[in-house]
C-alpha cells in the first residue's frame, strides 16, 4: 500500500482486468431515462405555491426608460406582483464582470433588471410574477413603458472612434479590454520574409441553442431562512456563491440543485440577470418562482459568442518555414461583460491560441474588446478556439498556395515536432506533450488525399467543384486557477469526489462535476468501478447538489474527465485500500496479499475470492462488535484534485473536410469529415467519439449556418428556428474519428478534455475545403458563416450588398 501509485499499478491500460472499465465503451447508465422521458429537468420540478415569472423585454437596442406604469398589469388576472429594476435593486446587488489578471479590463455594473436604460433588444426590463405563464404574458402586454430611444452601438469598427457615443459614461470609452502578445522582431521578420500573405477573417456572432432552454426554479423558505434553487446550470457551486453574494445571504443558506440538464455548451455557466431576478423575487415573495426561457427569449438573452473581425498576416521563408504571425482581433461583446467569467476571455484566447500548432519565432497578436448594444457575448463551446484555428489555418493554406506546396506538406514542415516537449509557444502557452505529426499521419492514412485529388480533378472537368481542407488545432483543457481564480473570480478549478461503500457492497460516488447530457456520470461510474474494484452497475453517481457533493467547479472548459475523473479515481483507489485494510484485519491476512475485484475481496496472487464486499459491509455496519476494537470503520473517502504543473493541459488534433460547392447556388454539400485528436487517456471511446462528432457539427453550424443577424439599429432578425439555422442531422456528413493517446503525467488517469476539439477545428477545415473547391475561380472566403450569398458574391455571380 505504500508503493507509489502509477497508472500501471492501477491497471489503467490493461483491458484484461475483470473490472477494467477505463478505455471501454460502457453504455451510459443515464441514456435510458433520457430517451424514455423519465429525466428530471428543472421544468419537471413543480412545487406547492409555485409562481411563474414572465419578463417584459426591451424592444429597443438602446433606450432610456422614461417611465414605467405597471398598474394595469398588476391588476390583471392571476398576477401576484410586478417588479421593476428599482424594486429588485433593494434586494439584489449589481455585479461588475472583470478579472484582475486581464489588465485594464473594465465593465459597468449590471442589475437584475436595469434601472434607467435598456442596452440591448431583449434585455429583461420588468418582471411579472403570476399563477401561470399565460396570465403573466397577458399582463406583460399591459405594462406601459415610455421609451426614449437612444442611438445604438451596432458596428464594432466604429465603437472606439471619437464621434461614437460612449455607452456607459462612467467608463470613459467603449473599450472593455485590450491585450497584445509580442515576441518582438515581428516587423523585421515580415520585412525580410520571402513571402507574406494576409487576409481578413470574420467569425459570425452565434449562440448555443440548447435543447432545454435556460430554466430556474427558486424558493425562499422564510422559516428556514434558506434559498433553494433548482437550476439548469453547469456550475452549481459557483451559482450558490453568486446567489448568496448578490442577495446578501450567507453562502451556507443557499442550496443549488441541478438535476438533468438538456445541453449547455457554455451557455449555462453564466450569471443571467433574468435568473438573478427570479431568485430575488422568490426571496421577496417567500414562494417558489419558476422561469423557463422560451426560444424567442433564448435567442435574445442566452449569451452569444464569436463576433470577431480578425486581420491576419503570415510570413514564411522560401522553404516554407513559418517565420511569424501578425494578428489584429476586434470583437464586440454587447453592453456588459458577463459575470463572472467576463466577456474578455474569448479575445484573450485568440491571443493565446493563434499559431498554436506550429513551431515559429515571431508573434504579435492584439485583441480589442469593445461594447455594443447587442446581446452580451461570453464563453461558448471551444471559447476562442474556432476563431484562432480559422485564422491560423486559413493563413497557412494561403501560404501553401503562394509557395505552390501541398497544404499537408507545409504543415509537416512546421508543426511542433512530437519529441519537442515540453514546449512553450510564442504567446507563452506551455505544452506538456502533443502529437501533431502522429495525428496528421493517422489522418492522412484515413483520408487518402491522393484518391480525393484524382476525383477532384476528374469532376472539375465536368463542372463539379469539390474541395479538401485541413486544419490542425490545439485545445485548452483541464484549466487551473490561472484561467479565472487568479483574477479574483470564485470559480473553482479544483474538484472533488466522495466515494462510499454501503452495506450491500454497492458504491455511491458524489462528484462536484456535473452532467449536461455529455455522459460525465457514465465515465465517473466507470472510473469509480475500476478504482474500487466493483462491477459498474454497482456504482451510483450523485452530481449537482451543493449540499451533498464535494465543492467543485462543475462543467466547463473540458474538465469533467481530466479533473473530476481524477478526483473520482483517487477517492476510489483510497476506498479500495480502506476496504482491503479492514478486510485484512477480519481475514487476518496481510493487506498486500489482498485486492478487490468485481465486488469481492480476492487473494491478490491467485484471484480467488476471500469475501464478497456485501459480507464486509454486513460485518462492519451491523456486527461491529465482532471486529477488533481498533479496526477502522470508515468506508468513505474523499479526494480533491487540481492541476499544479501546467496552467492547462493542452490537447491537439487535426481535421479534414471534403465537400462540394454548387457554384450556381452557393450551396455547400458536406461529403465527409475526419478528425484525429489526442485527449490523453480515453475513458470511454464511444463517448469521446460522440463528443468529437457533436463538436464537429457545432463547428459546422458556425461555419455554414448559424448567425445572429442584426440590422443597423441593433435589432436581432434571427429569433426563431426558421431564421436562425442550425445544422440538421440529415445534412451532416459521416464523421470518422481516430485517436492518438498521449496521457498527461499530471494525473494518474492521464485524461485531458475532449468536448471542444471538434468545434475548435471544424470551421477552419470547412473554410479551407470551400476555398480549395473554388480555387479554379480564384474566389476565396474568410467570413463565416459561408452562406450561399457570400459564396456567390465571392464568385462574382451576385452583387455585394
Partner 1 sequence: MKWPAFAYARANSLEEAFALKRAAGADAKWIAGGQSLLVSLAYRLQAPGALIDISRIAALHGVAEAGAGLRIGAATTHAKLGADALIGARAPLLAQAAPLIAHAAIRNRGTLGGNIAYADPASELPACLVALGATIVAASPRGERRIAAADFFVGLFETALAEDEIIVAVETPAPPAGSAIDEIARRPGDYAMAGLAAAFDIESGRLAHARLVFFGVGGAPVHAVRASTALTLHGVAAAQAALAGDLAPQGDHQASGDMKLHLARVLTRRVAQAALGPGSLAA
Binding site for partner 1 (CB under 8 A): 132-134, 137-138, 141, 294, 296, 664-665, 667, 705, 709, 717-718, 720, 722-723, 725, 728, 730-731, 787-789, 792, 797-799, 801
Q: In angstroms, what is the minimal distance from the CB of 45 to partner 1?
A: 19
Q: What phi and psi values does residue 89 have, to the nearest 5 degrees?
A: -60, -20
**CA proximity to 698, closest of 720, 673, 718, 665:** 673
Q: In angstroms, what is the minimal distance from the CB of 69 to partner 1?
A: 20
DSSP for 34-52, please give it. HHTT---BGGG---TT-EE
Report yes or no: 165 and 173 within 8 Å, Cβ to Cβ: no
Burial readout 69-97 (b: 16 or more C-beta within 10 A, e: otherwise):
ebeebeebebbbbbbbbebbbebbebbeb
For the beta carbon of residue 328, count every other beta carbon within 10 angstroms: 16
d(CA 293, CA 308): 27
**Radius of gyration of the chain, Cα coordinates, nearest whole angstrom:** 28
Report yes or no: 769 and 468 within 8 Å, Cβ to Cβ: yes
Residue 382, C-alpha cell as written in the block: 471551444
Exposed/middle/buried for residue 573 (C-beta within 10 Å: 0-12, 13-18, 19+): buried
Q: What phi and psi values does residue 76 have, to the nearest 5 degrees?
A: -75, 155
Pairing mode, strands 254-257 and 226-231: parallel
Residue 618, C-alpha cell as written in the block: 454486513
HSE-up (13 A, CA, CB side) for residue 763:
33
Report yes or no: 203 and 702 within 8 Å, Cβ to Cβ: yes
SS3 602: strand
> DSSP assignment, residue 179?
E
d(CA 400, CA 316): 9
Q: What phi and psi values does residue 576 have, to the nearest 5 degrees?
A: -60, -45
Distances (CA, A) of 28 to 305, 447, 523: 31, 30, 8
HSE-up (13 A, CA, CB side) for residue 329:
35
What percentage of the chain's residues is helix, strand, coil (to nearest 5)?
30, 25, 45
d(CA 528, CA 499): 8
CA 653 to mean position of chain CA atoms: 18
Ranges of H-type helices in 623-713: 685-700
Residue 148, C-alpha cell as written in the block: 426614449
**CA 8, 9, 15 angle in degrees (round to 5)?**
60
**CA proximity to 317, closest of 198, 404, 406, 190:** 190
d(CA 287, CA 59): 30
SS3 316: strand
Nearer to partner 1, 293 or 316 (CB): 293
Q: What phi and psi values does residue 396 have, to the nearest 5 degrees?
A: -60, -40
Query: End-to-end distance of the chain based on CA atoms, in angstroms?
Result: 72
Residue count (the chain): 801
Amino acid at each position: 500500500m505504500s508503493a507509489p501509485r502509477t497508472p500501471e499499478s492501477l491497471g489503467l491500460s490493461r483491458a484484461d482486468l475483470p473490472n477494467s472499465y477505463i478505455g471501454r465503451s460502457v453504455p451510459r447508465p443515464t441514456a435510458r431515462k433520457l430517451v424514455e422521458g423519465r429525466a428530471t429537468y428543472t421544468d419537471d420540478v413543480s412545487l406547492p405555491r409555485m409562481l411563474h415569472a414572465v419578463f417584459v423585454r426591451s424592444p429597443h437596442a438602446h433606450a432610456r426608460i422614461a417611465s414605467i406604469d405597471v398598474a394595469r398589469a398588476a391588476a390583471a388576472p392571476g398576477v401576484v406582483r410586478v417588479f421593476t429594476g428599482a424594486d429588485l435593486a433593494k434586494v439584489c446587488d449589481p455585479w461588475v464582470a472583470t478579472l484582475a489578471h486581464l489588465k485594464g479590463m473594465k465593465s459597468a455594473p449590471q442589475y437584475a433588471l436595469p434601472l434607467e436604460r435598456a442596452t440591448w433588444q431583449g434585455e429583461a426590463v420588468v418582471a411579472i410574477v403570476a399563477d401561470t405563464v399565460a396570465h403573466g404574458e397577458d399582463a406583460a402586454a399591459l405594462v406601459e413603458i415610455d421609451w426614449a430611444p437612444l442611438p445604438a452601438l451596432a458596428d464594432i469598427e466604429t465603437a472606439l472612434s471619437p464621434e461614437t457615443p460612449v455607452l456607459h459614461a462612467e467608463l470613459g470609452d467603449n473599450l472593455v479590454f485590450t491585450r497584445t502578445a509580442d515576441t518582438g522582431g515581428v516587423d523585421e521578420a515580415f520585412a525580410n520574409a520571402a513571402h507574406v500573405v494576409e487576409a481578413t477573417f470574420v467569425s459570425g456572432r452565434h449562440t448555443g441553442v440548447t435543447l432545454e432552454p435556460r430554466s430556474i426554479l427558486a424558493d425562499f423558505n422564510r422559516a428556514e431562512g434558506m434559498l433553494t434553487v433548482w437550476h439548469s446550470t453547469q456550475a452549481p457551486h459557483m451559482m450558490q456563491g453568486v446567489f448568496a453574494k448578490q442577495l446578501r445571504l450567507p453562502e451556507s443558506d443557499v442550496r443549488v440543485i441541478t438535476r438533468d440538464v438538456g445541453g449547455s455548451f457554455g451557455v449555462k455557466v453564466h450569471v443571467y440577470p433574468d435568473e438573478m431576478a427570479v431568485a430575488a423575487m422568490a426571496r421577496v415573495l417567500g414562494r417558489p418562482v419558476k422561469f423557463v426561457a422560451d426560444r424567442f427569449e433564448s435567442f435574445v438573452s442566452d449569451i452569444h459568442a464569436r463576433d470577431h473581425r480578425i486581420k491576419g498576416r503570415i510570413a514564411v521563408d522560401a522553404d516554407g518555414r513559418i517565420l511569424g504571425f501578425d494578428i489584429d482581433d476586434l470583437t464586440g461583446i454587447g453592453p456588459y461583460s458577463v459575470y463572472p467569467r467576463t466577456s474578455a476571455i474569448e479575445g484573450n484566447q485568440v491571443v493565446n491560441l493563434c499559431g498554436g500548432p506550429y513551431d515559429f519565432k515571431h508573434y504579435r497578436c492584439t485583441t480589442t474588446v469593445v461594447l455594443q448594444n447587442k446581446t452580451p457575448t461570453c464563453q461558448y463551446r471551444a471559447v476562442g478556439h474556432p476563431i484562432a484555428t480559422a485564422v491560423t489555418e486559413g493563413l497557412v493554406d494561403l501560404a501553401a498556395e503562394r509557395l505552390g506546396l501541398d497544404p499537408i506538406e507545409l504543415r509537416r514542415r512546421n508543426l511542433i515536432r512530437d519529441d519537442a516537449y515540453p514546449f512553450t509557444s510564442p504567446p507563452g502557452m506551455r505544452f506538456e506533450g502533443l502529437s501533431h505529426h502522429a495525428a496528421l499521419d493517422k489522418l492522412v492514412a484515413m483520408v487518402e488525399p491522393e484518391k480525393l485529388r484524382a476525383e477532384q480533378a476528374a469532376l472539375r472537368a465536368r463542372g463539379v467543384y469539390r474541395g479538401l481542407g485541413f486544419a490542425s488545432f490545439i485545445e485548452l483543457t483541464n484549466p487551473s486557477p490561472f484561467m479565472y481564480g487568479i483574477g479574483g473570480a470564485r470559480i473553482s478549478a479544483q474538484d472533488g469526489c466522495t466515494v462510499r461503500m454501503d452495506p450491500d457492497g454497492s458504491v455511491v460516488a458524489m462528484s462536484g462535476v456535473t452532467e449536461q447530457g455529455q455522459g460525465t456520470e457514465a465515465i465517473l461510474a466507470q472510473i469509480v468501478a475500476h478504482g474500487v474494484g466493483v462491477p459498474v452497475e454497482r456504482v451510483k453517481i450523485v452530481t449537482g447538489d451543493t449540499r451533498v457533493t464535494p465543492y467543485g467547479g462543475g462543467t466547463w472548459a473540458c474538465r469533467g474527465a481530466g479533473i473530476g475523473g481524477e478526483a473520482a479515481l483517487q477517492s476510489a483507489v483510497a476506498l479500495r485500500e480502506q476496504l482491503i485494510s479492514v478486510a485484512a484485519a477480519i481475514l487476518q491476512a496481510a493487506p498486500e496479499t489482498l485486492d478487490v475485484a468485481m465486488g469481492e475481496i480476492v487473494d491478490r496472487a491467485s484471484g480467488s475470492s476471500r469475501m464478497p464486499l456485501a459480507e464486509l459491509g454486513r460485518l462492519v455496519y451491523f456486527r461491529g462488535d465482532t471486529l477488533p476494537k481498533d479496526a477502522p470503520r470508515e468506508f468513505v473517502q474523499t479526494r480533491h484534485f487540481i492541476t499544479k504543473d501546467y496552467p492547462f493541459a493542452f490537447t491537439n488534433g487535426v481535421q479534414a473536410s471534403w465537400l462540394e460547392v454548387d457554384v450556381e447556388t452557393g450551396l455547400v454539400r458536406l461529403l465527409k469529415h475526419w478528425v484525429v485528436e489526442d485527449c490523453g487517456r480515453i475513458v470511454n471511446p464511444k463517448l469521446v467519439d460522440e463528443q468529437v462528432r457533436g463538436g464537429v457539427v457545432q463547428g459546422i453550424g458556425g461555419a455554414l449556418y448559424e448567425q445572429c443577424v442584426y440590422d443597423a439599429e441593433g435589432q436581432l432578425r434571427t429569433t426563431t428556428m426558421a431564421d436562425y439555422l442550425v445544422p440538421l442531422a440529415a445534412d451532416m456528413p459521416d464523421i470518422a474519428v481516430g485517436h492518438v493517446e498521449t496521457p498527461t503525467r499530471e494525473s494518474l488517469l492521464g485524461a485531458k478534455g475532449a468536448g471542444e476539439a471538434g468545434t475548435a477545428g471544424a470551421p477552419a477545415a470547412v473554410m479551407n475545403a470551400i476555398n480549395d473547391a473554388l480555387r479554379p475561380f480564384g474566389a476565396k472566403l474568410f467570413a463565416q458563416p459561408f452562406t450561399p450569398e457570400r459564396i456567390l458574391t465571392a464568385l462574382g455571380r451576385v452583387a455585394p450588398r
